[in-house]
Amino acid sequence: MLTVVNIPNFLTLLRIVAIPLFLILLEDYRYGEALAVFVAAGITDGLDGAIARLTHTKTTLGAYLDPAADKLLLLSAFIALGFMHAVPRWLAVVVISRDVVIVLGYFLLFMLTQRTMEVQPSVFGKLSTFLQLTAVALVLVSLFRPELRLEPLDLVAFYVTGSITAVSGLQYMYRGLAWLAQEAPPATVETGQRTDDSASRRRRA
What would the CATH number be for the domain defined by 7-185? 1.20.120.1760
Coil, strand or helix at 103? helix
pTM over 0.85: no
Q: How far apart are CA 184 and CA 4, in angstroms?
A: 33
Q: Which residue has the higher pLDDT, 153 or 50?
A: 153
Q: Is the pLDDT of residue 186 over 70?
A: no
Backbone dihedral angles phi then psi of residue 75, each to the nearest 5 degrees: -65, -40
**Is 90 exceeded by the pLDDT of residue 82?**
yes
pLDDT over 80 at 201, yes or no: no
- Answer whether residue 193 shows pLDDT above 80: no
pLDDT digits (tens, 9 = 90+) for 35-76: 999 999 888 877 877 787 787 777 777 777 888 888 899 999
Which pLDDT does position 202 carry in this prediction? 52
Residue 189 vs residue 17, higher pLDDT: 17
Q: Look at residue 190 in the predicted model and tell me its pLDDT.
A: 46
What's the pLDDT band for 184 if we cut at 50, 70, 90?
low
Contacts 24+ apart (CB under 8 A), 54-61: 55/6, 55/7, 55/8, 57/2, 57/6, 57/7, 57/8, 58/2, 58/8, 59/2, 59/4, 59/6, 59/8, 59/9, 61/4, 61/9
pLDDT of residue 192: 46
Report DSSP letters for 161-173, one per residue: HHHHHHHHHHHHH
State the chain's mean pLDDT as an integer: 83
Query: What is residue 60's predicted lDDT score, i.e. its pLDDT?
Result: 72
Query: For residue 170, what pLDDT is reported?
Result: 93
Q: Are 204 and 136 in contact (CB under 8 A)?
A: no
pLDDT tens, position by position, 85-102: 999 999 999 999 999 998
